[in-house]
Structure 1
Amino acid sequence: MSSTSISVPQYATPRGDAYNAALAKVLAGGVHSNFRAATEPAPIRISQARGARVEDIDGNEYLDLSSAFGSLILGHGNVAFNDALARQLSTAAHIVNGVLELEAAEALHRWFGWAPVLRFGLSGTEMVSNAIRLARAYTGRSKVMRFSGHYHGSSDLLLGGQMGDDGQTHPQANGPFESDGRAEGVLERECLLVSFEDSNWSRILTEHADDLACVLLEPVCINGGGVRPDGGNVAEMVRLCRANGVLVVADEVITGVRLGSGGGQKAIGLEADMFVTGKAVSNGIPISVLAGRAEIMELYAKRRVAHGGTYNGYGLGLRAITSTLGILNKDSFATFNRIDEISAQLAETALKIAQALSVPLHINRFGAAQVFHIGAASGSSRRYGSLAATLADGQLTKMLQGAGIMMCPLCRAYPTLALTEGDIDFFADRFASVLETNQAKLSRLARAADAA
């Protein structure tokens, strides 16, 4: 970092603003996901990308820490990855029943440290829904237990809801994940919503065990602020599930690769019966994976449970998995260790700057995923979900984008292999400028967030 007094001009985006306005007339809401429009700042319209940098259509350069919502683990334009995809495109981008499945399975087995039986799909939402279908068929039960703040896609059963004292789930008026058109009564009928922060979750699990097909969780709740469950709670949850014949399903769409070999399951000591992964497992090429114990996945082989999809196991997606994990698996995971090291360096740099400028800041970091928060450290997903905390973290995201640092909404950062020392220096100068310029405002936002 050159100096905390460096002046960084705020980026102007007239062409990007005009593009957004024009797009809103032909694309519903001007974005491809409602959740991208729910928080500031406005979308950047990127014209080119290389390494860890992107450039918008106004010619502004950004350090890309959003990494396509965590999907990119190698960065933009990784030569080895692109060459592998180019060879696959010239061979067969999409055929039915190719010859890459075994290689992809072996790469996944090595990364996760065990040999589950697999099925491939396209999205996390799709494969989490399929995992629930398998759990219901295997157990003969219908209900699903999930945890407040954990995100599992946009299906009716798994999106939003408000937790009752008895675990009963109800639609939440004006909640960010509420929606017209949801199947009537689906949350109340089929979903139990609990929190690891409450002591009654184990009682609810036990009381409803006879109707419960599975417990579904993110090993680390990145979207909910970056909260890691207490290890004792995780062990007790697994014990109760095993004792009552309830399956444990881990949603590792984010954590499966970004937390290192073994994924989030290894990080928190979780023994899941099934898990789903995607995003960084293929460095941004659409594909997802459902993996589970052989006796559960056998329900597919026996055709007792339906699963279909035109693009399931398509060649380009499978090659993206083998290439990505081949790079990360190399030399006893040395490549991922490098990403982890630079992720730590990025977080340490930010914290030193914040301390020097007396801006209350903490970062919840888990391998190559981290969440920046204005205010004092907390392990509570309720605190991070408060309106005041959401406003504070959202304002920091907007300030950083205006100075050339691109984060995911609510200040989530996903470092990649492409990050260099020069990128860290770029980050340090811009981050220091933003905090110095906005010190008073950020301190006020921190006080409000901490009081919430």
Structure 2
Amino acid sequence: MRSYTKSIALYEKSRKHMAGGVSSNIRYASVPVPLFFARGEGARLYDVDGNVHIDYVLGNGPAILGHAPKKVVDAVAASLVEGQVFAAQHPREAELAERLSRLLPGAEVVRFATSGTEAVLMAMRLARAFTNRSKILKFEGHYHGWSDQAFISTKPSLNEAGPADAPVPVAGSPGMPPSVLDDVVVCGWNDLDLLEQALERHRGEVAGVIMEPVMVNGGAIPPLPGYLEGVRDLCRKHGALFICDEVITGFRVALGGAQAKYGVTADLVIYAKAVAAGFPLALVAGRRDVMDTLLDKGVMHGGTYNGNVQSMAAALAALDILEADNGAIYRGMEACGQRLMEGLTLLGAKHGLAMLVQGMPAIFQTFFTSAAAPRNYRDSMATDRDAMLSFHAALQEEGVRVQQGGRWFLSTAHDKPVIDETLAAADRAMAKMVRH
């Protein structure tokens, strides 16, 4: 058994001066306590007790190049002497904006922010101002940050969620005012008929339809063939903006994100996480006429740390690596991710476990279910969560770190030897599950 004595002691100490002992509620999800890490390098994290973890959490997605990638770290280190925040513009902002407009589908202009939650709020405000409508339609199981306006029906219990064909908006946290639910329409995902019905029920009221183009937070569930195109067409028909939340999929599933992968362009797109390879940076990109409401209609968006020097330097350095040789690094990462997905599937069969591996090579989900692959949030809720928690605990004991819910992120540092080491650890972990 691994020892976590120092992490336990540090957690008890931190609880005295930090609310809950953590800086994000999501970080509670570690056993035996939220773990403390001393450093990260490549595909591995090193905790304060000396345990080494092959890391498939990767900061919940940002570390696309692994931990502490040298070229990015060097670029940021060189930028430190230039200053950090100016409350003004600097040349790297313009350089990065021009580059992103070239790389990202439909990105006529961009506006920088610091976190995905902020960027989501900006996109929703833009949609409301542009359309002069108040409601936002979102989908069950999709996560768009923790703000009052967005943290709705992200993980509702099914006894609260209402009927599948007309879900009830459910606040995701105490402290959210009931009034925010009046401005949100909730719909089941991956079903165009349900979306059309919802838009008809709220005809002329919906400013924007926001979604993860791949339902990452609900289980790395891909859109059905033709679904994204259908959503785009329904938005046009009903005068609503199509908003893609690519906070996770952007720069991860492809250089141009899920839009490029699936060949569908949204009106507004939100990016964060992998864009700066671990440094805080988010942005909204999209149609010039919509983005121009920031100036033409005086739509307010601000932020002291938006476009800060270090994040701009990190993003430019990361793009140098991701763009090199026509995106060759993605082909290598996808090959390794496919090897891992197929290997886990074979191991599940070997040990007689009803395990399903679903998603894309750069981000996928392990489910425990004998049913068909989930197509939406309610399908994913029917899988065996207890088995997933057991697998998570067994993997951690074997030196592999994944999210408790079963989501795996890959980086370019997860090469073939790391994948083979992971599969050997997963083999041992599954054997333990079967024994116990």
Please report the TM-score for the alignment, with normalisation by the length of structure 1: 0.89
CA distance in 2, matches of 1:261, 1:364: 21
Per the alignment, do residues 395 and 116 of structure 1 end up closer, same or farther by CA in structure 2, a change over 3 Å counting? Answer: farther
SS in 2 for 1:372: strand
Deviations along 1:97-134, one digit per CA (max 9) or x if unpaired, are: 11112221233234324442110000111110111101
Matched, 1:413 2:408: yes
Matched, 1:152 2:147: no
1:254-293 paired onto structure 2 within 5 Å? 254-293=248-287
Shift of 1:48: 1.9
Deviations along 1:386-408, one digit per CA (max 9) or x if unpaired, are: 4x533322222122112210112
CA distance in 1, matches of 2:168, 2:313: 41
Matched, 1:194 2:187: yes
C-alpha RMSD of the superposition:
1.9
Shift of 1:89: 1.3
Could you tell me which runs of 5 or more consecutive residues in structure 1 were left unpaired when the two chains were aligned. 1-9, 173-177, 442-452
CA distance in 1, matches of 2:340, 2:45: 18
Matched, 1:338 2:332: yes
SS in 1 for 2:284: strand
CA distance in 2, matches of 1:405, 1:385: 24
CA distance in 1, matches of 2:280, 2:81: 18
Contact 1:256 1:278 in 2 (8 A): yes
Shift of 1:383: 2.6
Matched, 1:396 2:387: no
CA distance in 2, matches of 1:113, 1:139: 22
Could you tell me which runs of 5 or more consecutive residues in structure 2 were left unpaired when the two chains were aligned. 154-159
Deviations along 1:421-445, one digit per CA (max 9) or x if unpaired, are: 331232122111111111255xxxx
Contact 2:85 2:304 in 1 (8 A): no
Matched, 1:308 2:302: yes
SS in 1 for 2:251: helix
Contact 2:142 2:218 in 1 (8 A): yes
Shift of 1:17: 1.4
Contact 2:221 2:358 in 1 (8 A): yes
Query: Partner of 2:132 in structure 1?
Result: 140
Query: Partner of 1:428 in structure 2?
Result: 423
Amino acid corresponding to residue 143 of structure 1 in structure 2: K
Matched, 1:228 2:219: no
Per the alignment, do residues 53 and 44 of structure 1 end up closer, same or farther by CA in structure 2, a change over 3 Å counting? Answer: same
After alignment, is 232-241 or 79-88 more displaced?
A: 232-241
Identify which of 106, 119, 123 aligns with 1:131.
Answer: 123
SS in 1 for 2:60: helix
Amino acid corresponding to residue 31 of structure 1 in structure 2: V
Deviations along 1:10-65, one digit per CA (max 9) or x if unpaired, are: 31211111212222222212222223325756322111221111211111111011
Contact 1:257 1:280 in 2 (8 A): yes
Shift of 1:232: 2.8
Contact 2:105 2:265 in 1 (8 A): no
Query: Partner of 2:348 in structure 1?
Result: 354
Matched, 1:74 2:65: yes
Query: Partner of 1:111 in structure 2?
Result: 103
Identify which of 62, 65, 86 aligns with 2:77.
Answer: 86
After alignment, is 132-141 or 88-97 more displaced?
A: 88-97
Per the alignment, do residues 237 and 41 of structure 1 end up closer, same or farther by CA in structure 2, a change over 3 Å counting? Answer: farther
Amino acid corresponding to residue 352 of structure 2 in structure 1: S
The count of aligned residue pairs is 425
Contact 2:246 2:272 in 1 (8 A): yes
**Deviant stretches of 4+, over 6 Å:** none
CA distance in 2, matches of 1:367, 1:437: 26
Deviations along 1:230-263, one digit per CA (max 9) or x if unpaired, are: 2333222211211221100000000111111221
Identify which of 28, 39, 49 aligns with 1:37.
Answer: 28
Per the alignment, do residues 51 and 434 of structure 1 end up closer, same or farther by CA in structure 2, a change over 3 Å counting? Answer: same
Contact 1:107 1:326 in 2 (8 A): no
CA distance in 2, matches of 1:357, 1:180: 42
Query: Partner of 2:179 in structure 1?
Result: 185
Amino acid corresponding to residue 253 of structure 1 in structure 2: V
Shift of 1:182: 0.9
CA distance in 1, matches of 2:50, 2:27: 23
Contact 1:145 1:191 in 2 (8 A): yes
Per the alignment, do residues 389 and 41 of structure 1 end up closer, same or farther by CA in structure 2, a change over 3 Å counting? Answer: farther
Shift of 1:77: 2.1
Query: Partner of 2:10 in structure 1?
Result: 19
Per the alignment, do residues 140 and 39 of structure 1 end up closer, same or farther by CA in structure 2, a change over 3 Å counting? Answer: farther
Shift of 1:303: 5.0
Deviations along 1:306-364, one digit per CA (max 9) or x if unpaired, are: 11111111111111111111210111111122112211122222222222222222211
